[in-house]
Amino acid sequence: MTATSTLLTLLVIAASGFVLARARALACAGGDSRALHSLPGHYGWASVLLTLGPALALFALLKIAAPPTPAGTLAVLALALAALAWSLRRTRPNFRARQTVERGVLALLMLAACVAIATTAGIVLSMLFETRNFFAQYDWREFFLSTTWAPRFQGDSDLGILPLLWGTLYISLIALVFAVPVGLFAAIYMAEYAGGRFRAIVKPAIEVLAGIPTIVYGLFALITVGPLLRDYFAQPLGLGTSGASVMTAGLVMGVMLIPFVSSLSDDIIAQVPQSLRDGSLGLGATRSETIRQVVLPAALPGIVGAVLLAASRAIGETMIVVLGAGAAAKLGLNPFEAMTTITVKIVSQLTGESDFAAPETLVAFALGLTLFAITLSLNVLALAIVRKYREQYE
């Protein structure tokens, strides 16, 4: 018997348990559901939970512990049937079926909430193990403090994170410098000034930006923005001849981030109570004074949250950088030079023939963990800022 058919059989048993328990409860009460402690349906669901819960747990245990055997399958089905019989025996008018169902629902919800935590923990652990392997072969001081990134597959590589970190932060900074004002101003216009019809068209249009795959943005950077910047800015100013540059990737990434900033800020600005605006207008403030001095300060925690969320996205972005900024690891200030980021190098270290014991491959996990640490601290910072200002403003 395959796992699928076992599960289907379990479902059939549980379904019959629902019907039987419900009918039995009603029969016990002589057809008058008011004589029961709970609704008839509760008895049915309680039976389903009691039947499925232990059987599924056993099924999962056997699945992890050993290859599927007919004996194991039979044990699972036997357990389900036994639980069904027991639950039917318990179905009496004074059985507190409602409480059982409520506890079952609670357990289900808790399980769902734990999935996220378990996944995060799993990711961190797997990265930690590989990172430990990496640092066993490569000095951590070299990794964090060296300014050269020069992996060689014959060995003896320089794997300093600084050029990559610098590229990541530089490109993200340019992206944010572009996206935050544009996104915020768009949000202010939409929340405070725009009429219903304009809003109905522009808001979805901006959100379409968020739906464009980043590889498409990358193409846009590669074939349009890059050459444009090279021909009209970099070359006339004598700053470089490269189409791939920090500026290209930063600007295109900025466009990608606009909807994150504007959409969230718009919602937050719209939530500022109208009474505050009335109060300010009633004192003879103009609309822009009201926005600048009352609405924005009140919305600030949310806006900071939106900006930091955008920053996390920028730091983790890969495709736009590969196509827009190139893959050359460099420490430099010229924004029209090609540079690269942590994410791009993670990809390039892991693609092709990778030997998972060599530091040149394992470095990817150390890079990934560093990236994770950076975005995590940004998120924690965002939460802390939001909390601090919320106390002050509400």
Sketch the per residue contact string, 355 through 394, with other proteins: x for CB under 8 A, - otherwise.
-------------------------------------xxx
Residue 199: CB minimum distance to other proteins, A: 13
CA–CA gap between residue 326 and residue 354 (Å, rounded)? 22
Residue 392: CB minimum distance to other proteins, A: 6
Q: In 10 A of CB 175, how many CB atoms? A: 27
Sketch the per residue contact string, 104 through 123, with other proteins: x for CB under 8 A, - otherwise.
--------------------
200 binds other proteins per the rule CB under 8 A: no
Residues 6 or more apart from 339 whose CB is under 8 A from it?
163, 166, 167, 170, 171, 245, 246, 325, 326, 328, 329, 330, 332
284 binds other proteins per the rule CB under 8 A: yes
Least Cα distance to 91 among 21, 194, 143 occurs for 21
Question: Which is nearer to other proteins, 258 or 294 (by Cβ)?
Answer: 294
| Cα 220–chain centre separation | 25
Q: What are phi and psi of 145, to 5 degrees?
A: -115, -15
Sketch the per residue contact string, 217 through 256, with other proteins: x for CB under 8 A, - otherwise.
----------------------------------------
Question: Which is nearer to other proteins, 198 or 232 (by Cβ)?
Answer: 198
Buried b (16+ CB within 10 A) or exposed e, 115-139: eeeeeeeeeeeebeebbebbbeebe
Q: How far is CA 155 from CA 79, 109, 111, 355, 357, in A?
A: 57, 50, 46, 12, 12
CA–CA gap between residue 375 and residue 343 (Å, rounded)? 13
Residue 270: CB minimum distance to other proteins, A: 16
Sketch the per residue contact string, 158 through 197, with other proteins: x for CB under 8 A, - otherwise.
----------------------------------------
Contacting range for other proteins; rule: CB under 8 A; set: 216-224, 251-259, 286-294, 342-350:
286-294
CA–CA gap between residue 68 and residue 59 (Å, rounded)? 9
Question: Which is nearer to other proteins, 295 or 374 (by Cβ)?
Answer: 295
Question: Which is nearer to other proteins, 227 or 279 (by Cβ)?
Answer: 279
Residues 289-328 that bind other proteins (CB under 8 A): 289, 293-294, 297-298
Sketch the per residue contact string, 264 through 283, with other proteins: x for CB under 8 A, - otherwise.
---------x-xxxxxxxxx
Question: Which is nearer to other proteins, 275 or 351 (by Cβ)?
Answer: 275
Question: Which is nearer to other proteins, 257 or 294 (by Cβ)?
Answer: 294
23 binds other proteins per the rule CB under 8 A: no
Residue 195: CB minimum distance to other proteins, A: 8
Please report where in the chains the tokens 């009209």 appear, as a residue: 232
Question: Which is nearer to other proteins, 142 or 192 (by Cβ)?
Answer: 192
Determine what percent of the chain falls in helix, strand and coil, rounding each to the nearest 5. 80, 0, 20
Question: Which is nearer to other proteins, 153 or 393 (by Cβ)?
Answer: 393
- Helix, strand, or coil (residue 35): helix
Q: What are phi and psi of 146, to 5 degrees?
A: -70, 145
Beta bridge partners of 158: 150
Q: How far is CA 165 from CA 237, 318, 329, 368, in A?
A: 27, 13, 10, 12
Number of residues that bind other proteins (CB under 8 A): 21
Residue 181: CB minimum distance to other proteins, A: 22
Residues 6 or more apart from 171 whose CB is under 8 A from it?
246, 249, 250, 253, 314, 321, 325, 339, 341
Please report where in the chains the tokens 């002589």 appear, as a residue: 30
Residue 62: CB minimum distance to other proteins, A: 58
Residue 303: CB minimum distance to other proteins, A: 13
Residue 191: CB minimum distance to other proteins, A: 15
Contact residues for other proteins, defined by CB under 8 A: 273, 275-286, 289, 293-294, 297-298, 392-394
